[in-house]
Amino acid sequence: MSSETDDVPVADTEYQHDEDGGPDPEKHHGHGRGGMGEEVKRKEDKRFITGRGNYVDDIKKPGMLHCEIVRSPHAHARIENIDTSRAMDVDGVVAVLTAEDLAAHELATMPTLMDDTQDVLVNDKVKFQSQEVAAVIATDRYIAKDGAEKVDVDYEVLDPVVTAEEALEADAPLIRDELEDQEDNHIFDWDVGDKEATDRVFEEADVTVEEQMEYQRLHPAPIETCGCVADWDPGKDKITVHLTSQAPHAHRTLFSQVSGIPEHKVRIVSPDIGGGFGNKVPIYPGYVVAAAASVVLEQPVKWMEERSENIQTTGFARDYDMTGELAATEDGIIKGVRTDVLANHGAYNAVAQPSKFPAGFFNIFTGSYDIEAAYGSLTAAFTNTAPGGVAYRCSFRVTEAVYLIERMVKVLAQELDMDPAEIRRRNFIQPEQFPYESPTGWNYDSGDYEKALDLALDMADYDHYREEQQRRIEEDADKLIGIGISSFTEVVGAGPGKSCDIAGIEMFDSADIRVNPTGNAVLRVGVQTQGQGHETTFAQIVAEELGMDVENISVEHGDTDTDPYGLGTYGSRSTPVAGAATAVAARKVRDKAKTIAANELEAAEEDIEWDRESGHFHVAGAPDRSITITEIAASAYMHHPSSEEPGLEAVNYYDPPEMTYPFGSYIVVVEIDRETGEVDFEKFVAVDDCGNRINPMVIEGQIHGGLAQGIGTAMMEHVTYDENGNCTGGDFMNYLLPTANEIPNFETGYTVTPSPHHPIGAKGVGESPTVGSPPAIVNAVVDAMAHAGTTHVEMR
Amino acid sequence: MKAANFEHHEPTSVSKAVSLLESLDEPTILSGGQSLVPMLRFRLARPDTVVDINGIDELDYLHEEDGYLRIGALARHADVADSEVIEARYGSFADTAPLVADPQIRNRGTIVGSIAQADPKGDWGSVLIAHDGEVVARGPDGERTVPVDELFLLPYDTSLDEDELITEARVPVPVEREGSAYHKLKRKTGDYAMAGVAARLIFDDDGRIEDAGIGMTAVDITNARASDAEERLEGERPDPELFAEAGELAAEQSNPESDEHGDASYKERMVEVLAQRALGDAAERAGVIERRAAP
Ligand SMILES: Cc1cc2nc3c(=O)[nH]c(=O)nc-3n(C[C@H](O)[C@H](O)[C@H](O)COP(=O)(O)OP(=O)(O)OC[C@H]3O[C@@H](n4cnc5c(N)ncnc54)[C@H](O)[C@@H]3O)c2cc1C
């Protein structure tokens, strides 16, 4: 098979769909075969809607045992003794594991994604409430829980440290006393940008503004919690783990490294996944315990979290305490931005980010604006809270960055008494400036920010609401109106591999297309859908590129024994990376198909043309002499040209040359009850630009879901702790998620600014709404009260 | 849900249920399960025996009879929300039903179970207080009625005995010139109240308040009566200043605690606001004041 993987793919101009940009969801593109731009119904929905999904907890194996984890009630405590005898006496309890047992198999600790070392089961000292202390393996899950209640643990309770601020105080108790050279709770300092230049801009500025804001700790809270079924086969010396995994291959490598089982003897299967949102990127102790137990007991072992275990112990998101500053001229030209962040990383440094980015992509905090100077600094601290820092429906801290800059622009607008739409317009990076290099080193691919904003203003009836707002203030009405804008820019689609890696593995992705003799095809990808609709949209890419009917393409993913290696789905990277790999692989198939077509049509290969509209190959100048992909597929297996290998397939491993930069403008109008402070959404407009659109309906679905999560973020979600480190926001009675009742009617629109470097001109989109909407909501709430002098209101 | 083991009994009549309750050691009654099941799930409740009353058809009713609105132990929140009797004459009940929890919970959870649960954040206790309601209980010694003011002792604790089954909750059928309302402040659907106020007003033919009932949710250790406010109202003609004063008195009598969703002073202020709004609606529904202008 020829290798073209090193070639940087060039955007195929045929995909530069007309930039009509209107908010018309009825608009169809495409050729009627379910290719690019068509609203193909999701292939995966049949099984989900009819209750035939197959999730990890649906996996049942003969002789399967169940694992329940004993968790610490304390946030900070030394374990003095663990007595497992009463638990072992429970009928049906097969084994009770402690750190000591794991140590005997060299499994006492595991690496985090940031190269820290986390106890699988606590050895010596508990560092956060609900940390894993022991594991009970039993014949059913009820008995396992009965047994867990009977594991007697003596704790010496220690003073906990809950906030990052406390953690960095000189006399704070030392959390990580097991680490050599660790004398305090400080993890790292990080900074970016030109401090001197930025300071100078601030000194010389007409106006400066500053605001303190918290991005509270959130939990991705996927509807399916984390879990696995580990099944060691002593006959093959091979372990199969059905895992709630967003990144099956990366997890296979990590599993192999942690367990010492060679990688070809580890099979990870990620079946249907009930939402991930970044929560299913890390490895968790429960997985390791279940796998160890299966190896030792030679029986399958299932571990499935309860809801509160999921919220209290697995990867949280955000928890950034931020100061933002802007320097500007009197007419609102932003000259500089400065930010300082205090980050709570919990008990271990377990953030899930490319390893060279300890603060993720937070350094995109200059946003959609052309700002002369920028400087950011950050300090991260250990606390006695659960570890995490996952990219919850965002590309590695972009959410925090967007919140910072979009809030600050509003603060500045208020200070200058300027319209927040106008101030944005004056500072936007202009279309002709792309590719644009930002002062913190990003290379934006394409954008037209003003166009998206103008469309959103129009859809939102902006001027009307501004007048209405004024009227209500003047009439002292019971309900105030507030209008919030967010004109965000995302950075998604990690790699390139040279700068982005997970635990050392470059962040490429892959696609493998095999066309069958009867003309249909199977596409295998290295990414893993958790609701994004890959089985549909990736099939559409193949349909487009090969002139096939989308019905004839199935997409497989999530099985490391059969799928090509990939880094998984998070950070909106699937379409930018695996989608690109799919297009490139499809084009390779098309190239070979062309050779076969020439052979069949008895023409020279140079004379064969492919017609995107009909999907047929024909002889140049003689459209009647044509052949379909179905006929070519048959030829590939039944009478292939002697110059070629038989078969029709191709693989591509795609290392993106750059990331993609989707953007949009959201406008939120709220009504606030003056007496109670209750907030009602009066209007919610979201204009997104994700480049060329594969399936408008899937995009719309992604936007709706993400906006709902943005509302949860801004209005109610918060993992809270009390001063003793008890997680008081650790279940759905206390960690509030919005329901359909809290979600207003969304009005969505779009513009199309293709990515110049992506083979089909597409950008990621799944996370834009979660990233873009919180500041729009907060800006609206602040805006409603701005006449009373309010400049900031915290979320939640 | 991984509850601890328990024995499950399913009597089909009240008398069978009562004798089971008498004979079993520390039995726990299960009605809608919307409070009990979460506690079983967290193993905060670990009953050895559960007496499930869902098969007792004679407890499934909601109707007016002999001067009372009678709510059988198996009437669900959703039944109240769907009832025409309620919609026509019981403003506070009609206001409350769609605000309790979420639709799924309302399909299972019962009004009586909610009252038996004695959660200070439960909504129905306040409604019962505003209406001077009572519950009917059956135990080994027969039947008795307990007025709502003697029912709630502490959070999750009532004056009933363990072997007593509440068969019914009831409130007097409204008289002429009576109106009631419930206002609740919550973070989201499916969440308990941050604060809630139920109000019921009866007017004499002169247009003065003859009887006032005000119950408060989530601002004390039990559902609580705003007696000072009630007293202030009685004998007076309704007007916004009076209701504002009553609201202040209710707020003074409340004892909210600060939590993640709001601090105590905010909640006190909300009692004041919600009481004014509930009283305004009640007076309007009694037909003694004009419909107020929309905001
Ligand atoms: C997520 C969630 C949100 C909620 N939100 C609200 C809300 O906003 N407002 C609100 O008021 N409630 C709320 N609830 C509680 C809900 O209203 C329950 O329905 C109610 O508290 C209990 O009624 P039940 O029929 O489900 O009782 P169960 O859960 O079956 O029983 C509750 C308790 O009462 C006892 N009991 C039940 N029936 C009887 C009886 N006939 N005689 C004697 N004892 C009895 C049981 O033994 C148990 O101790 C919420 C519940 C949940 C889970």
Determine the pLDDT at residue B1: 81
Do the domain assignments include residue A3?
no
Mean pLDDT of A50-63: 97
Enumerate domains of chain B plus CATH numbers.
7-52 (3.30.43.10), 59-172 (3.30.465.10), 178-285 (3.30.390.50)
- Which of A142, A676, A734 is the closest to B185 by Cβ? A676
Q: Both A330 and A287 in a single domain?
A: no
Confidence category of residue A29, pLDDT binned at 50, 70, 90: low
pLDDT at A221: 97
Residue A192 lies in a domain: no
In this structure, are A669 and A725 located in the same domain?
A: yes
A204, part of any domain: no
In SS3 terms, chain B reads as: CCCCCCEEECCCCHHHHHHHHHHCCCEEEECCCCCHHHHHHCCCCCCCEEEEHHHCHHHCCEEEECCEEEEECCCEHHHHHHCHHHHHHCHHHHHHHHHCCCHHHHHHCEHHHHHHHCCCCCCHHHHHHHCCCEEEEEECCEEEEEEHHHCEEECCEECCCCCCEEEEEEEECCCCCEEEEEEEEECCCCCCEEEEEEEEEEECCCCCEEEEEEEEECCCCCCEECHHHHHHHCCCCCCHHHHHHHHHHHHHHCCCCCECCECHHHHHHHHHHHHHHHHHHHHHHCCCCCCCCCC
Q: How confident is the model at residue A7 (pLDDT cuts 50, 70, 90)?
A: very low
CA nearest A712 in B: which residue? B188
Given a cut of 60, is residue A23 above it in pLDDT?
Answer: no
A514 is catalytic: no
B5–chain A Cβ distance below 8 A for any pair: yes
Specify if A385 maps to a domain. yes
Could you read off the pLDDT of B266-282 as tens digits, one per residue?
999 999 999 999 999 99
Determine, yes or no, domain membership for A369. yes
Residues A300 and A404 both lie in one domain: no
Give yes or no: residues A432 and A385 share one domain: yes
Tell me which of A599, A621, A654 is where a domain ends. A654
Does B4 contact A at CB distance below 8 Å? Answer: yes
- Contact assignment for A720 to B5 by CB distance below 8 Å: no
Both A369 and A350 in one domain: the answer is yes
pLDDT band at B291 (very low <50, low <70, confident <90, very high): low
Mean pLDDT, residues A652-661 taken together: 96
Q: Does A675 touch chain B (CB under 8 A)?
A: yes
- pLDDT per residue as tens digits for the range A211-247: 999 999 999 999 999 999 999 999 999 999 999 999 9
* A464 and A554 part of one domain: no
A767 given a catalytic annotation: yes
pLDDT single digits (tens) A472-496: 999 999 999 999 999 999 999 999 9
- Which member of A394, A500, A690, A727 is catalytic? A394
Residue A8: predicted pLDDT? 36
pLDDT at A725: 98
**A173-192 residue pLDDT tens:** 999 999 999 999 999 999 99
Number of domains in chain A: 3
Residues A564 and A642 occupy one common structural domain: yes
Amino acid at B97: A
Residues A601, A694 share a domain = no
Last residue of a domain, one of A637, A654, A671: A654
User: Interface pTM (ipTM) of the complex?
Assistant: 0.94
pLDDT in tens, B138-166: 999 999 999 999 999 999 999 999 899 99
Q: Considering the domain boundaries, does residue A559 fall inside one?
A: yes
Q: Which of A571, A576, A572 is nearest to A511 (CA)?
A: A576
* Residue A284 pLDDT: 97
Q: Are residues A720 and B260, on separate chains, in Cβ contact within 8 Å?
A: yes
How far are the Cα atoms of A74, A656, A762, A777 from residue A507, in angstroms, in the given order?
38, 9, 18, 33
The model's pTM is 0.95
pLDDT digits (tens, 9 = 90+) for A271-298: 999 999 999 999 999 999 999 999 999 9
Contacts of A306 in chain B (CB under 8 A): 2
* Residue range A414-458, pLDDT digits in tens: 999 999 999 999 999 999 999 999 999 999 999 999 999 999 999
* Mean pLDDT, rounded, for B214-233: 98
Span B49-66, average pLDDT: 98
Distance CA A359, CA A354 (A): 9
Q: Which residues contact B163 (CB under 8 A, 6 or more apart)?
A: B18, B21, B22, B27, B139, B140
Worst-scoring range by mean pLDDT, A163-172, A772-781, B196-205, B256-265?
B256-265
CB contact under 8 A, B295 and A738: no
Using DSSP's 3-state secondary structure scheme, residue A696 falls into helix
Residues A752 and A620 in one domain: no
Boundaries of domain holding A682 = 316-494+659-788
Residues A481 and A585 occupy one common structural domain: no
How many angstroms is it from B51 CA to the middle of ligand 1?
15
> Is the CB of B47 within 6 Å of ligand 1?
no
Question: If you measure CA to CA, which chain A residue comes closest to B266?
Answer: A676
B28 CB near ligand 1 (under 6 Å)? yes
Same domain, A87 and A151: yes
Structural domain ending residue among the three candidates A295, A313, A331: A313
> Which of B22, B31, B216 maximizes ligand 1 atoms within 8 Å of its Cβ, making it the mutation to test the pocket?
B31
Residue A18 has pLDDT above 70, yes or no: no
A26 pLDDT more than 50: no
User: Both tokens of residue A95?
Assistant: 């084994």
Distance in Å, alpha carbon of B237 to nearest chain A alpha carbon: 25
- Residue A666 β-bridge partners: A486, A686
The confidence score (pLDDT) of residue A173 equals 97
pLDDT the model gives residue B290:
74
Q: What angle do CA A340, A491, A410 make, to 5 degrees?
A: 50
Among B3, B4, B188, the residue with its CB nearest the CB of A742 is: B188
Asked if residue A677 is part of any domain, the answer here is: yes
Confidence of residue B168 (pLDDT cuts 50, 70, 90): very high
Whether the CB of B258 is below 8 Å from some CB of chain A: the reply is no
Does any ligand 1 atom lie closer than 6 A to the CB of residue B126? no
Average of per-residue pLDDT values in chain B? 96
Among the atoms of ligand 1, which is closest to the Cα of residue B167? Answer: 41
Distances (CA, A) of A432 to A372, A429, A445, B64, B233: 17, 8, 11, 75, 70
Give the span between the Cα atoms of A169 and A757, in whole angstroms. 48
CATH number at residue A116: 3.90.1170.50
> Does a structural domain hold residue A397?
yes
Instruction: Give B295 to chain A, closest Cα distance, Å.
Output: 6
pLDDT in tens, A119-154: 999 999 999 999 999 999 999 999 999 999 999 999
Instruction: Assign A1 a pLDDT band (cuts: 50, 70, 90).
Output: very low
A308 and A371 inside one domain:
no
| B102 Cβ under 8 Å from any chain A Cβ | yes
> Are residues A716 and B187, on separate chains, in Cβ contact within 8 Å?
yes
**What's the CATH number where A542 sits?**
3.30.365.10
